Chains A and B, each alone.
Chain A
Amino acid sequence: MAELNTGDGGGKKGSKKVRSKKSNAKVDLTAMVDLAFLLITFFMLTTSLSKPQSMDLGLPDKEDKKEPQKDIKVDQRRTMTIIMGKDNKIKWYHGLLDSPEPGGAPTDAVYGKNGLRKEILKRVVSIPQVTGDKDKGMIVIIKPTKKSTYRNLVDVLDEMAICKVPTYAIVNDITPEEQKLVDEMNK
């Protein structure tokens, strides 16, 4: 295989062409193999990686208006609220808006590992220590405003996954006080 026989295979024994019969041209397959493997790599990577990724999102059941809604009391020390404004701006606070937890007053932040993630990671660790119960971890309330984009939402949900926040919820109603913050941010 892969040997080109250039000699005419006998018949002229003893003639001058004996020499050329000997030169069995072996085709150099190196370049061909290189190319083949390059293509294999390309097809392997594109077939498995081009499948779109997805993010699971479970939302709470929409409550019917028939039953009066019960307010669930949640420890204010556990909640961090993230408000997403326009132009990729974020405001977050920890605790209640009127009486935030120490170091948790409404602050501007940016997306990414040096912005929001630092704050979340810090609190993921500190909140169970404050409450003294492992199961009472952090709760993040995500509030997208009308001007925020889908990318912002996915980015924040992604932060939740990266920081392993135990509980988070997307909340759509914005209180008048928070609206003030939003207006300030969107200015």
Chain B
Amino acid sequence: MAKVKSHKAAGSIDMTAMCDVAFLLLTFFILTATAKVPEPLPVDTPASTVQTKLPETGLVTITIGKSDGEDRVFFGMKDRAIRSGALDYMAQKYKVSFTEQEKAQFALIDEFGVPIEGLKQLLAMKASDRAKKGVQPGVPCDSINKQLQDWIQYARLANIDQGANKELQFAIKGDAKEEYPEIKKVMDILQDQKINSFNLVTGLRGKDY
């Protein structure tokens, strides 16, 4: 008779505590996850097996990619203080004045690809319009118009002005299909300023490719 009773007890575990924990963790992860910002120049990075993570701060990303069949170079700074510092230097050199509002607006832009003369128009746009195709023609970096060099130099100067004790790091984010001379051009620009060590942004893959 006793055995019949134990048969009856269908195990129903109390899930309440588990559910609580699960949702607590879920909330935590949702809140810490950073939303992906739309990139003005989407590139398909090549994959590699090396797993070094990029630093979160003190980084400048130079994106090289093709859009509308033309090679374009975009410039992005991670730290807001460096962004506004570099903009001040650039405004001085190219004699373009920005209002306080425009400066504040610029500090929010992750990455841009316009010559300094066209930056005013870009800042006046809505954030959603900036990522549209054909809006940003790329930062000029040929032998006549060396704005990329200046941006790099002034970003480094701004980094020093911040009192950072670490050198600004540079990462090249190139499209996989980009031809080597384009990449070489940017590497040369970096090397002209004695930046001999930089990161190449890559995707992830296994060793058995």
Binding site for B on A (CB under 8 A): 1-2, 26, 28-30, 32-33, 36-37, 39-40, 43-44, 46-47, 49-62, 84, 112-113, 144-155, 157-158, 161-162, 172
* A182–chain B nearest beta-carbon distance, Å: 12
Contact with A along B167-209 (1 / 0, CB 8 A): 0000101111111111110010001101011111111100111
Q: Is the CB of B29 within 8 A of A54?
A: no
For the complex, give the distance between the alpha carbons of A91 and B27 in Å. 53
B8-22 interface with A by 8 A CB criterion: 12, 14-16, 18-19, 22
* Chain B residues with CB below 8 A from A59, complex form: 187, 191, 196-197
| A40 in contact with B179 given A53-B201, A158-B50, A172-B184 (CB within 8 Å) | no
Q: Which of B12, B45, B49 contacts A161 (CB 8 A)?
A: B49
Q: Tell me whether chain B's interface is mostly helix, strand or loop, or mixed.
A: mixed
For the complex, give the distance between the alpha carbons of A116 and B208 in Å. 13
| A162 in contact with B196 given A53-B53, A150-B175, A150-B176 (CB within 8 Å) | no
| A161 in contact with B29 given A58-B196, A152-B180 (CB within 8 Å) | no
- Nearest 3 Cβ contacts at the A-B interface: A43-B29, A29-B15, A36-B22
Contact with A along B43-69 (1 / 0, CB 8 A): 001111111111000000000100000
Q: Is the CB of A40 within 8 A of B48?
A: no
Q: Is the CB of B33 within 8 A of A39?
A: no
* Chain B residues with CB below 8 A from A84, complex form: 180
Task: Judge if B26 is at the interface, Cβ distance under 8 Å.
Answer: yes
Q: Tell me whether chain A's interface is mostly helix, strand or loop, or mixed.
A: mixed
* Chain B residues with CB below 8 A from A44, complex form: 29
Q: Is the CB of A146 within 8 A of B179?
A: yes
Closest to B29 in A: A43
| A154 in contact with B197 given A51-B54, A59-B187, A146-B179 (CB within 8 Å) | no
Task: Judge if B25 is at the interface, Cβ distance under 8 Å.
Answer: yes
Q: Which of A43, A112, A161 contacts B33 (CB 8 A)?
A: A43
Contact with A along B151-178 (1 / 0, CB 8 A): 0000000000000000000010111111
Q: Is the CB of A150 within 8 A of B177?
A: yes
* A141–chain B nearest beta-carbon distance, Å: 15
Classify chain B: how many residues form its interface, as a range: 35 or more
* Chain B residues with CB below 8 A from A162, complex form: 49, 207
For the complex, give the distance between the alpha carbons of A59 and B199 in Å. 11
Given contacts A53-B53, A54-B53, A154-B47, 12 further A-B contacts (CB under 8 A): A2-B19, A28-B15, A33-B15, A33-B22, A36-B22, A51-B54, A52-B53, A53-B203, A54-B201, A58-B197, A61-B194, A150-B176
Report 10 cross-chain contacts, Cβ distance below 8 Å, ordered by A residue.
Answer: A32-B19, A36-B23, A50-B36, A52-B45, A52-B202, A53-B202, A57-B200, A149-B177, A150-B174, A150-B176
* Chain A residues with CB below 8 A from B176, complex form: 149-151, 154
For the complex, give the distance between the alpha carbons of A164 and B122 in Å. 46
* Chain B residues with CB below 8 A from A33, complex form: 15, 18-19, 22
Task: Judge if B99 is at the interface, Cβ distance under 8 Å.
Answer: no
Q: Is the CB of B174 within 8 A of A62?
A: no
* Chain B residues with CB below 8 A from A148, complex form: 179-180
* B11–chain A nearest beta-carbon distance, Å: 12
* Chain B residues with CB below 8 A from A62, complex form: 191-192, 196
Closest to B209 in A: A112
Closest to A51 in B: B53
